[in-house]
């Protein structure tokens, strides 16, 4: 599924059974692969490391669970919020240069 990253910011996120989950606040990217890894439903801008971990665990969605991006972002209900899946060790650690956060991108 090809989509402009800038288009996703601020979009409403719904599960595939119609439950509103929140708005896309930040995108976590794998810059080496050119892929979106996660969409957070809370901003990561100026939060503590512990809060960032909590947001990634409880208020983010794995992009592999996105089913459709049209007027809204639709995700599979079975795995809508990433809390059901543990964070991989590399994501749980402090972000490395391999990851990019939305604060470095501009909206178009």
Q: How far is Cα 78 from Cα 65, in angstroms, rounded to an integer?
A: 9
Whether 85 is covered by a domain: the verdict is yes
Whether 53 is covered by a domain: the verdict is yes
Whether 54 is covered by a domain: the verdict is yes
Residue with tokens 């543990």: 86
More confident residue, 63 or 105: 63
Whether 52 is covered by a domain: the verdict is yes
**Entry pTM:** 0.68
- In tens, the pLDDT along 35-88 reads 999 999 999 988 899 999 999 999 999 999 999 999 999 998 655 565 444 454
**Domain tally, the chain:** 1
Whether 102 is covered by a domain: the verdict is no
DSSP string, 14-50: EETTS-EEEE--EEEEETTTTEEEEEESS--TT--HH
Does the structure show a pLDDT above 60 at 97?
no
Q: Would you place residue 24 in the very low, low, confident or very high pLDDT band (cuts 50, 70, 90)?
A: very high
Does the structure show a pLDDT above 90 at 6?
no
């Amino acid at each position: 599924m090809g989509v402009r990253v800038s288009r996703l910011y601020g979009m409403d996120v719904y599960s595939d059974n119609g439950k509103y989950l929140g708005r896309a606040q930040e995108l976590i990217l794998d810059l080496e692969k050119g892929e979106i890894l996660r969409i957070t439903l809370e901003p990561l801008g100026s939060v503590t490391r512990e809060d960032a971990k909590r947001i990634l665990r409880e208020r983010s969605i794995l992009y592999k669970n996105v089913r459709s991006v049209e007027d809204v972002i639709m995700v599979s209900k079975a795995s809508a919020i990433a809390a059901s899946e543990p964070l991989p060790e590399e994501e749980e650690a402090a972000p490395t240069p391999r990851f990019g956060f939305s604060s470095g991108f501009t909206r178009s």
